Amino acid sequence: MIYKIAYIEYHNTLPFTFGFKNFADHIDIELQTFVPSQCAVQFQKGEVDIALVPVATLQDLKDFRVMSSYCIGSIDRVETVTILSKVPINTATTIHLDPHSRTSNTLIKLLCKEYWKINPEFASGPTDYDKTTQLVIGDKVFELKKQYPYHYDLSEAWYALTQLPFVFAVWVYRSDVPPHVIEEIELLFDKSFNAKHLWFDEDVKIDKEILKHYLSKNIHFIFDDNMKAGLDNFLSRIH
């Protein structure tokens, strides 16, 4: 049987992509890439068996289990989930949301209320990177942040608020996926992390030194008890 997997084609998924491409010897898989919000939609619609989903969507999913070992999270700064602004955050009247991630859009509303103590309007709609204040996620932040004088890292703000790390996405699978398939996937992730010196031989779109720092210092992949505590705290706040 071929198992369909939805994941996010950002640089922060490079360890998972590398594992799928190089170590998936004992399972048949079909990889499909989407923006984060669409990964959850594909899973919810039953189009895929396994998916890397934004954590804010977990409350909407049915018939799923969470893989226990790996996630995409951050302790303090994450660099790629950021408010870019032409004015200080406390003077922003409107913040334009990023259509690609429900988790980041939810987090920014929580932080405005509980951390920055501001009450801006939140605008959605087509992406336009010439807005005065906007949330931007993913690889595009590296270039776009050069155009704005004010940057506010959402993971850094979350840590200042809670003293906990933040989990952006977790791997989920359908309850009817056989346990040995999940074990094989977690094993190939293990192999990929053991071979992390080879990740940077891949064709990447940003400077490799920047990428090495990003993946080793900003992104936290191990879904340990501390990360789970951060996730539980976030979900309880938005419930």
Contacts of 203 (CB under 8 A, 6+ apart): none
Q: Which CATH number fits domain 2-74+165-238: 3.30.300.30, 3.10.20.30, 3.40.190.10, 2.40.50.140?
A: 3.40.190.10
Nearest 5°: the CA angle 173, 176, 181 is 65
Third-level CATH fold of 81-162 = D-Maltodextrin-Binding Protein; domain 2 (3.40.190)
Residue 39: both structure tokens together: 């990964």
CB 84 within 8 A of CB 111: no
- CATH fold match for the domains 2-74+165-238 and 81-162: yes
pLDDT interval class at 2 (50, 70, 90)? very high
pLDDT surpasses 70 at 87:
yes
| Mean pLDDT on 116-140 | 87
Mean pLDDT of the chain: 93
Poorest-pLDDT segment among 115-119, 120-124, 175-179, 204-208: 204-208
| Mean pLDDT on 179-197 | 95
Is pLDDT larger for residue 138 or for residue 112? Answer: 112
| Strands, sheet with 220-222, edge to edge from the N-terminal-most edge strand | 28-34, 2-8, 50-54, 166-174, 64-74, 220-222
| Mean pLDDT on 176-184 | 95
Burial of 45 (0-12, 13-18, 19+ CB in 10 A): exposed
Q: Where are the domains of the chain?
A: 2-74+165-238, 81-162
